[in-house]
Structure 1
Amino acid sequence: MKLSDYVFRFLADYGVRHVFMLPGGGVMHLNDALGRRSDIEYVCNLHEQACAVAAEAYARVTNHLGVALVTTGPGGTNALTGVVAAWQDSTPCLFISGQVKRSDLTGSSGVRQMGVQEIDIVSIVGPVTKYAVTIMDPGTIRYHLEKALHLAGMGRPGPVWIDIPLDVQASEVDPEGLAGFLPSGPEGKESEGTLKDAVVTALDMLSTAERPVILAGNGIRLAGAQRDFLDVVDLLGVPVLTTRLGVDLLPASHGLCFGMPGSIASRGANFTLQNSDWLLILGARLDMALIAYAPERLARAARKIMVNIDPAEMRKVGAILDLQVCDDVGRFLREMKRLAGGTATQDRSGWIARCSDWKARYPFVRPEHHDRVEGISVYSFSSILSEELTGDHVVLPGNAGVASELFLTAFRVKEGQRVFHNKGTGAMGFSQPAAIGACLASGRRPTVSVDGDGGFQMNIQELETVRRLNLPVTFFVMNNRGYESIRASQANYFGRLTGADATSGLTLPDVVKVAEAYGLNAVRLSDPRDLRRQVRQVLDMEGPTVCDVMIVPDEVREPRVASYQKSDGSMASKPLEDMWPFLDREEFRANMIVEPIEE
């Protein structure tokens, strides 16, 4: 059979049901093979970056492989941002590219290009993939496919890339005679005895702790261990905080859910984290925004146990850890569930009451946010939208700006919702393609995307893809008249603006007119006094919808960890617990069980 036909038969047998693609001459045999399959739906995006982003979001929802198909040269380079997104956030994706025929490759000739649109894509994507290869021998196609898919999901998941020259695509292969791939031993797993010892040690530490906390990250979902995690939470009765990528592991209504700590967060979440004396870090990489760029200050009175399948992530913060467990977090949770099941749960009511008090006294969204008569508060809008959505919704906060920092922090996850963004890249332009991938992956569940007006312009061509597929997607565009985050940074550091809004060289089109031109429902919200009814009306609209939300252009972001300039001119950040606007010092100290850092 033709090699291109074999590729998609292989993927269909693997369970792939959607492929995001943009056709090209350099990939024509693969395009044709995909188009002739009835068991894989191909989705035609209008930019290769959108193909890659949609595939990454698709994999997030299914926890299975996302696949994108692009052509040679710029087709591959255009996809790179989505590849990086999958790499940094550990998402299993397969990217297939076309390539010029083997006789047209530059090889070792020293010239910059030989074939038409030729580029050495494997060398470019190699640093941000788990495996990248150009298929030079048609007889190795099964081996490379099996190896790539094995590596994509093994250990810490991530993207893989297979580059197939045009003449190889057209080659005939004998499926029965193709050599396969034999994987070696498991990656990043302790022996059964070592794992048991680690869990026993962690539970021994817990037995003497008075203020324990679990920090739950995306690794729990990647391990398929959500149910095990909930069982352990119920068994231990310990307060839970989540990372931003772990936000939907526990509904906000759960009695042990106390929010997301970080540089922009609720004070209550940060007080809970920083006052802990036992911290179990499950499948979280402790990124700089979460720890306020100061790992040595993180939960400094706590004995810290980190469970992560990537040893490099633990080496990064190894100096602050009391116990490192390099293993699949699902295995750790199942062992903990087994060993903790027969032990009596300690009374932690006093500690839980203290965490609950912080949560109640320091809400992220405050009454005054709802009291505006001019301009819609991001906080108020985020809270109202959160309340109006159901457990069936897929929710996609933007990757950058207020959509990432404020909306996601204010959002209260309901049971059944899938809520995620791409944390690692923080790139604009994910809104529309991510909504396409997530909606299709969920079986066309109602999908809500929340983005800023700046980010929404990137990949805006995908509104046509949404219209063509008639996806049940509602886009809320938080319009703050430009790049608000950049505007705030420039004003704070330099006292002037450059390319941040209409006063400094940047203009953005009318979102409503653009959406109408694409044939979508379009509406604008501007009255804060009738916001809930208006949001409800938008959500009730049939078909793809774009809603332009006129938010306060420069609403103060608070609370947040503030940076300051030291006497030597270098920058430093306050500890996580000491957020701006700073509390009265007496009130602040009253909230600290751990000795505060005075600076």
Structure 2
Amino acid sequence: MTSARIHVAADAVIHFLSHMGIKSLHNYPGGTIAPLLDACGRFGIKVFTSKHEQGAGYAALAQAKLTGLPGVVAVTSGPGVTNVLTPVADAFFDSIPLLVFTGQVGTGDLTADKPVRQSGFQEVDTPALMKPITKAQFQPKSIADLVAILPKAWQIACEGRRGPVSLDLPMDVQRAAFDDTIEPIAKSARTDSARTDTSNEKFISDLLEAIQTAKQPVIICGNGMATGEHARLLSSIRSYWPAPVSHSLLGVGTLDSEDPGSLGFHGHTGSQLAGKAIADADLLLVLGSRLDVRQTGTLTSEFAKQARIFRVDFDANELEYSRIAYHHGLCSELTPVLQALQQALPGKQIADLAPWQKKIANWRQTLGWPYPTYPGAAPKAVLEYLSEALPQETIVTTGVGAHQHWVARHFRFALPQRRLMTSAGHGTMGYDLPTAIGAAIHSPQSTVLCVAGDGSLQMNIQELGMISELGLKVKILVLDNHRLGLVSQFQLMNWETDTACGNKHSPDFATIAKGYGIKAIHCGVEDEVQAALKAFIAFDGPVLLHLEIDPRHDVVPMLLGGQPTHKMWPYFDVQGNPKEMGDD
């Protein structure tokens, strides 16, 4: 902690963040955010400057996920604001705490209610733009406003269902003379995290009764479960009640992917095994998961229709407006519920789950991943090879597309060391590279693998420059199928054309990476992939592998509209033959 003096309000903001434990700030600079950036060095906060505001926002998302504190991103007014909106939306939909500092014209130049489009240069109505995608929006007009707002913004970002908070800082407020501190608050700002009222007790009692008699239970772990502590508690609970576990996309890794009880992730591009188990379950315990349409399919009445469904969610609105009818719901943070189960289960008589486990083991043999065989490298084999070869402490980031779902299916995840960072609710291409940069900065002891598609990588390819400048040891795998694979597949299935998505020209990604000073390897469809993968793994520094794959590789099976989870399209047996799923 530095002993620098506070001279202006911007100093006080950075001083507050420093005292709250923030050590880094991600940004793309501009005139109206300059006072805030100027203060960082004096108060011990390191500034990381991305090549684009979107890159800064995604690096800050990784900061939040890895430090347990809000990520911090600062951008200038106007285009700075509009460019950062996409990662802010990601933070909102995937419940990531983020403080978004935006510069603004002086209070005297704000358009406010004047019937003109713009009063100040690069002015936009930032609070209005941020409103649909943040938990709260603030625009302090004075020092007094700022002093009151900043601690409140921190608390809002951290309390309840976490998310981003926008702080739009007029230039004159940032530069206003001020020599006092903004009082830091308790870092454990989640004051309402442990709800232990009678509703918890009744819910736990009813759940324990259901657990004792259920013969075919399934646990669903969502984004709310994706912490190391929750993974530990789940493991303890399953030592007494070994129910199989399925995940949402963001819940992957809560149970080790290689655990015999892991069903994989369920839904749109998930596993047939998970879909079948959910369909046949007689008890479904849903922990911190929205159960959105990609998880359940469109036939909500068919989802786990044989099961007694218990839901725990911290967001009361998710329970009130649930797409899926459930029998018992509890609005609570997950930790006290998991701890209560952990304490109550020892000594309880639990139904014999051996027949259920045997049935699932048999399904696992039948419901594999029978992808068609094409020349060259197969995504499944490549990802399984990397999963086996890379260290236990590995963070994987992806973009959005076919590669994202292959990673979630075939890479081993196990929290807290093996973790996936991907865009779920907002589904953003370009999430891959800048989030990997944030992961490498904020978890330097981890191996960071960035898996991108040829389309997704080009959204934020300029961030290769940041990797080179900082010498970040990020491994970048580009799975290049010369198409925007997932959307191409969707278009071909529905309209038999993929005019906009198929037969795409890819640049020479290896040459581009070399231009940024990054070691790069190119491997064509006909080239020897094993040697390329070994060199990729062995290199101790930033490295990119441009791996071309046959464009016919699709994400199959897939849950389509009008299908229940246990009848994904197309269903294959282990020989790769399409067939209708039965009740076996």
Normalization by structure 1: what TM-score? Answer: 0.90
Deviating more after overlay: 530-539 vs 418-427: 530-539
Inter-CA distance 180–289: structure 2 relative to 1 (3 Å threshold): closer
Q: Which moved more, 1:275-284 or 1:100-109?
A: 100-109
Question: What SS class does the counterpart of residue 320 from structure 1 fall into?
Answer: coil
Higher alpha-carbon deviation: 148-157 or 416-425: 416-425
Go from structure 1 to structure 2 and tell me whether the alpha carbon gap of 1:240 and 1:496 turns closer, same or farther (over 3 Å shift).
Answer: closer
Are the structure 2 counterparts of residues 335 and 521 from structure 1 closer, same or farther at C-alpha, using a change threshold of 3 Å?
same
- Tell me how far 1:176 sits from its aligned partner: 5.5
Distance in structure 1 (CA, Å) of the matches to 2:220 and 2:526? 35
Are 2:144 and 1:143 aligned?
Answer: no
- Give 1:190 shift: 4.7
User: 1:101-159: CA deviations, max 9, x gaps?
Assistant: 11111122121111111111011101211111111111232321111111111110000
Which residue number in structure 1 is paired with residue 459 of structure 2? 458
Distance 1:74 1:385 in 2: 39
Match of 1:440 in 2: 441
Which residue does the alignment assign to 2:570?
581
User: How is 1:280-429 mapped onto 2 (pairs within 5 angstroms)?
Assistant: 280-317=285-322, 320-364=325-369, 369=373, 372=374, 374-398=375-399, 400-414=400-414, 416-429=417-430
Is 1:91 paired with 2:96?
Answer: yes
C-alpha displacement at 1:483, in angstroms? 1.2
**Unaligned regions of 5+ residues in structure 2, if any?**
1-5
2:99 match: secondary structure? strand
Q: Is the 8 A contact 1:397 1:408 kept in 2?
A: no
CA distance in structure 2 between the partners assigned to 1:421 and 1:538 by the alignment: 22
User: Which residue pairs with 1:3 in the alignment?
Assistant: 9
Aligned position for 1:160: 165
1:523-534 aligned within 5 A: 523-526=521-524, 530-534=528-532
Q: Does 1:537 align with 2:531?
A: no
Aligned in 2, Cα 1:580/1:101: closer, same or farther, shift over 3 Å? same
Candidates 257, 263, 275, aligned match of 1:270: 275
**Aligned match of 1:566:** none
1:235 aligns to what SS in structure 2? coil
Contact 1:223/1:329 (CA < 8 Å) preserved in 2?
no
What SS does structure 1 have at the residue aligned with 2:540? coil
CA distance in 2, matches of 1:13, 1:112: 40
The aligned counterpart of 1:32 is 38
Residue 284 of structure 2 corresponds to 279
SS at the partner of 1:548?
A: strand
Q: Secondary structure at the match of 2:214?
A: coil
Distance 1:552 1:543 in 2: 28
Amino acid paired to 1:436: I
CA offsets 1:213-270 (integer angstroms, 9 cap, x no match): 1111110236953322222222222111111101111112223222111122222221
Is the CA contact 2:225–2:287 (under 8 Å) kept in the aligned structure 1?
A: yes
Contact 2:300–2:323 (8 Å) recurs in 1: no
Per-residue displacement from partner, 1:20-70 (whole Å, max 9, x unpaired)?
011111111111111333x32111101111111111122122332111010
Code of the residue aligned with 2:582 in structure 1: it is R
For 2:479, the aligned partner's letter is M
Contact persistence 1:295–1:317 (CA under 8 A): no
Paired with 1:325 and 1:533, the residues of 2 have a C-alpha distance of 52
Conserved in 1, the CA contact under 8 Å of 2:37 and 2:47?
Answer: no
2:256 corresponds, among 239, 251, 255, to 251
- Equivalent residue for 1:567? none
Report 1:480-491 matches (<5 A).
480-491=481-492
Considering only aligned residues, what root-mean-square deviation do their CA atoms show, in Å? 2.5
Report the CA distance shift for 1:559/1:383 in structure 2 as closer, same or farther (over 3 A). Answer: same
2:556 is matched with which residue?
A: 558
CA contact (8 A) 1:444 1:471 kept: no
CA distance in 1, matches of 2:419, 2:404: 15
Task: Please identify, of 51-60 and 414-423, the stretch whose mean Cα deviation from structure 2 is larger.
Answer: 414-423
> CA distance change for structure 1 residues 557 and 319 in 2, over 3 Å: closer, same or farther?
closer
**Alpha-carbon displacement from aligned partner over 1:329-361 (angstroms, at most 9, x marks no partner):** 112111221222342443211111211221233
Match of 1:51 in 2: 56
State the match for 1:215 in structure 2. 220
In 2, Cα distance between equivalents of 1:438 and 1:185: 24
Aligned partner of residue 253 in structure 2, secondary structure: helix
SS at match of 1:236: coil
Contact 2:142 2:173 in 1 (8 A): yes
Secondary structure of the residue aligned to 2:486 is: helix
The offset of 1:497, in angstroms, is: 3.3
Identical columns (%): 29
Helix, strand or coil for the counterpart of 2:240?
helix
Deviations 1:427-448 (A, max 9, x none): 1111111101111121352100
Moved more, 143-152 or 232-241: 232-241
Match of 2:476 in 1: 475
Which residue in the other structure is 1:510 paired with?
Answer: 508
Question: In the TM superposition, what whole-angstrom CA distance separates every residue of 1:184-206 from its partner, at most 9, and x where no partner exists?
Answer: 99558754222111111111112
For 1:128 and 1:359, the matched residues in 2 are separated by 40
Go from structure 1 to structure 2 and tell me whether the alpha carbon gap of 1:587 and 1:86 turns closer, same or farther (over 3 Å shift): closer
- Please say if residues 216 and 242 of structure 1, whose CA atoms lie closer than 8 Å, have aligned partners that are also in contact: yes
Query: Number of aligned pairs?
Result: 573
> 3-state DSSP class of the match of 1:213?
strand
Task: Give 1:596's aligned residue.
Answer: none
1:408-440 superposed Cα distances (whole Å, 9 cap, x missing partner): 212222562121211011111111111011111
* Residue 125 of structure 2 corresponds to residue 120 of structure 1: yes
Compute the displacement of 1:533 (Å).
Answer: 4.0
- Report the alpha carbon displacement of residue 582 of structure 1 after superposing the two structures with TM: 3.4
1:16–1:375 Cα change, 3 Å: same
Sort the Cα spacing of 1:586 and 1:485 in 2 relative to 1 into closer, same or farther, 3 A.
Answer: closer
